[in-house]
Structure 1
Amino acid sequence: MSTARYLALIDLLRAQEFPAQRGRSDTGFSGPGYHTAELIVAGQFGDDDAAQVAETREQCVAEHEALLAVLGVKWGEPQFFSLWSLLERSIAGEEIPEPWQELSARFDSLHVWRADGRWIVVGLAPALGEAEVPSYELMAVVTEVDPP
């Protein structure tokens, strides 16, 4: 998918109503007050795929940076939002609202914009798949739920 398609998808999610209950969507998950879009889920590499892991990481980082640049032109500089404290609060038993609970479990940090009463969130993270081998994930989220 290209940066133009990512932007079109984010704009589509911004225009959609939020569902009453959480469920799978064509792009990821949606729930009360949020939509997610899994823009890139790449990987599931074995131990001897170091070159492929490095190449995929470079591609994901480049696409992430390109998307941040386009969104920065559209809405200005993003806020950098670290999720470590949310994860710690969640582990300690505090209830964190979605989508922030899920985001704090999947990403270390996010880039966040506020536009037209909604938050637009972009995150890039290495992720451990079911086999606990590295993969990469680029996600966009549109939410009306304020960051806790």
Structure 2
Amino acid sequence: MPTPAQIKKIHALQGALKLDDDTYRATLSGYGVKTSTRLSIAKADELIADLEDKAVAAGVWEKRTNVKRRLGDDPQTSKIQGLWASLHKAGKVESNNAKALSAYVKRMSGKDALKWCSTYEKGRIIEALKAWLER
């Protein structure tokens, strides 16, 4: 099932392209579904990319990248990565790779990736890493 943000974007693209209901349903049938809520997350991403390409080509949509949401641009994320590297140097964690950090983030916040953590959750992770480093 697609995320609410994906559904919102699909419908925004549908409106920008001025797709009537029949055309929209025909597009969805190409993905093997009748409604956008029946798509998988991966298929929703494919549909969004397809609709975006069509909308950009038609001149009714502008692709934008959300720079603040990229993983390395957030100061808290940078701090967490730095603390994780310090823990590795101190020999307190075995691996300094992103997979190991993601596993730790999952245990601490329940989120699959650091980019989905709130500011509060990142703050908790930072404090936990600092306490771990001091031990």
Do the two structures share a fold, i.e. TM-score over 0.5? no
Which has more strand, going by share of residues? Answer: 1
Q: Which has the larger radius of gyration?
A: 2
TM bucket by the smaller chain? under 0.3
- Could you tell me the TM-score, scaled by structure 2's length? 0.23
With normalisation by structure 1, the TM-score equals: 0.22
**Larger RCO (CA within 8 A; separation ≥ 6):** 1
